[in-house]
């Protein structure tokens, strides 16, 4: 099973940049999307079906043009779970889960704290609550693939300028400690599991030609539960996918 994750920074914008054409070429079985910024009734869903994904599910934010996650699939999931059951997060459309047999695939959009102290506090509360949510979920659904924009770089290798960004939201010590403890709680960073090389990023600011200079951050992950570690076959990042300020990434599991 090949699973792609992609923060599209507005799915309508990405589609206008031939994102669906790119997607067809990747031959993914499941696609996890973040920051859709749209409700399904604002889209021509037939275009998604023509691209090979007859099953498409959206968990959108109540606020129009904001946040939102989606999952596209070539085969029907057994169950779709919308949200995490915490209203002030679910109204922002941040969690969506699809169950395929005993495997659960999640599309998650973690909050950003870059706009100021209030949202940074919101982000830190979310991180604690999300860990508790996953700890509980694992008791029922132990085989998890949690894909998405985590809005955190884990280590210095994951950011172009670790010293200059040491006090930047997304690379704060407490955020890095959280993602380390999240992995230690029973997950594998699938890309780092197979690739230890530097200069692999998934997000670039639109400012100062950062993408052309590859001055990026690796803040998107396909986290795989530890009990699936031996099933990881491939993990890739697709920097040539230029439909957003992020790029896509994938994990392929032998199941």
189 flagged as catalytic: no
Q: At what angle do helices 117-140 and 173-184 cross, to 10 degrees?
A: 0
User: Which is the catalytic residue, given 29, 149, 158, 189?
Assistant: 149
Which residues carry out catalysis? 149
């Amino acid at each position: 099973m090949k699973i792609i994750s992609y923060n599209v920074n507005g799915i309508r914008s990405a589609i206008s940049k031939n994102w669906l054409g790119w997607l067809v070429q990747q031959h993914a079985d499941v696609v996890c999307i973040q920051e859709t910024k749209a409700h399904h009734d604002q889209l021509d869903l037939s275009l998604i079906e023509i691209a090979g994904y007859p099953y498409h599910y959206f968990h959108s934010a109540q606020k129009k043009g904001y946040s939102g996650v989606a999952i596209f699939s070539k085969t029907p999931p057994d169950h779709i779970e919308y949200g995490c059951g915490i209203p002030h997060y679910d109204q922002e459309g941040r969690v969506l889960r699809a169950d395929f047999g005993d495997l659960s695939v999640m599309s998650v959009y973690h909050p950003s704290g870059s706009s100021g102290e209030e949202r940074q506090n919101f982000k830190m509360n979310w991180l604690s609550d999300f860990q508790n949510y996953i700890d509980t979920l694992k008791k029922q659904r132990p085989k998890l693939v949690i894909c998405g924009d985590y809005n955190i770089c884990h280590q210095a290798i994951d950011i172009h300028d670790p010293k200059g960004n040491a006090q930047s939201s997304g690379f704060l010590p407490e955020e890095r400690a959280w993602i380390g403890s999240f992995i230690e709680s029973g997950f594998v960073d699938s890309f780092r599991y197979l690739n230890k090389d530097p200069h692999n990023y998934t997000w670039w600011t639109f400012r100062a030609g950062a993408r052309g200079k590859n001055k990026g951050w690796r803040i998107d992950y396909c986290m795989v539960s530890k009990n699936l570690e031996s099933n990881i076959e491939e993990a890739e990042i697709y920097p040539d996918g230029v439909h957003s300020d992020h790029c896509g990434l994938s994990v392929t599991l032998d199941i």
